């Protein structure tokens, strides 16, 4: 069960922070963050089986993360990793229009999609009952594959207790939170578990000065590596597909 944490206006100087622990089958291959050429270019890790991603950042400063929703497994539908890539192709408004387009969401199995930039954020939920879009006003949002649970409420309480802080302070407690087994945010089962952890932190408007941390394994045993150079590269020469 993946865990996504969105912080808006919580970190001084970096008002948009998105962290995600990815839970997946142990035999599903993946690779860490890289630049994806295109217009706009993206930074995202890669699902090597289906070619998509679970969390990414576009050069426009848009962040998108996706988790599964519900037990539905229709192998004939598009990978939810391609949903993230689709939504990162435009701005936040374009992402909302794409999701709401007739028949689009139905191309995928059930999902939660969190879409955010410096101005606003929204959550899309899709399952047998249809598509639901809702703006996010709260400074802290926590998302998993399921709905509200005691684990999520405990996580929210712990994050709320931290209050507004600097990036070094937030980086330390956020990494500690993502390593925990008791809530749990870091999970270990026989055939699946937490495979990686990623943290994006952005200033208001754009990607200049943005940060990227990535743990290529369970964060409880794998150190985070600073890969902010990839975020900086989004401001380089224009990429083409």
Q: Are strands 63-68 and 111-116 parallel, antiparallel or unpaired?
A: antiparallel
Give the number of C-alpha atoms closer than 13 A to the C-alpha of residue 5, restricted to the C-beta side: 28
pLDDT band at 70 (very low <50, low <70, confident <90, very high): confident
Q: Where are the beta strands (DSSP E) in the chain?
A: 3-8, 16-25, 30-36, 42-47, 55-58, 63-68, 111-116, 121-127, 130-135, 140-144, 192-202, 211-215, 225-226
Is 90 exceeded by the pLDDT of residue 146? no
| pLDDT at res. 148 | 56
Q: What is the DSSP letter of 164?
A: S
Give 201-225 pLDDT, tens digit per residue. Answer: 999 778 989 999 999 999 999 999 9
Q: Provide CATH code, domain 3-233.
A: 3.60.60.10
Q: Are 192 and 15 in contact (CB under 8 A)?
A: no
């Amino acid at each position: 069960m993946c865990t996504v944490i969105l912080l808006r206006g919580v970190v001084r100087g970096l008002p948009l922070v998105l962290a995600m622990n990815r839970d997946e089958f142990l035999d599903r291959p993946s690779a860490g963050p890289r630049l994806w050429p295109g217009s706009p270019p993206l930074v995202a890790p890669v699902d090597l089986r289906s070619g998509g991603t679970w969390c990414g950042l576009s050069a426009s400063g848009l962040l998108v993360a996706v988790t599964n929703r519900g037990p539905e497994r229709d192998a004939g539908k598009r990978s939810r990793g391609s949903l993230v890539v689709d939504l990162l192709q435009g701005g936040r408004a374009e992402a909302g229009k794409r999701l709401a387009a007739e028949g689009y969401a139905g191309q995928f199995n059930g999902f939660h999609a969190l879409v955010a930039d410096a101005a606003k954020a929204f959550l899309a939920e899709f399952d047998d009952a249809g598509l639901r879009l809702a703006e996010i006003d709260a400074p802290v949002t926590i998302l998993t594959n399921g709905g509200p649970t005691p684990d999520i409420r405990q996580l929210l309480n712990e994050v709320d207790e931290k209050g507004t802080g600097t990036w070094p302070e937030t980086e330390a407690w956020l990494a500690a939170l993502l390593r925990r087994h008791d809530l749990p945010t870091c999970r270990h089962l026989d055939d699946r578990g937490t495979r990686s952890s990623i943290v994006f932190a952005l200033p208001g408007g754009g990607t200049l000065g943005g940060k990227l941390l990535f743990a290529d394994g369970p964060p409880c045993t794998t150190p985070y590596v600073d890969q902010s150079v990839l975020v900086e590269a989004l401001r380089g020469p224009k990429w083409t597909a």
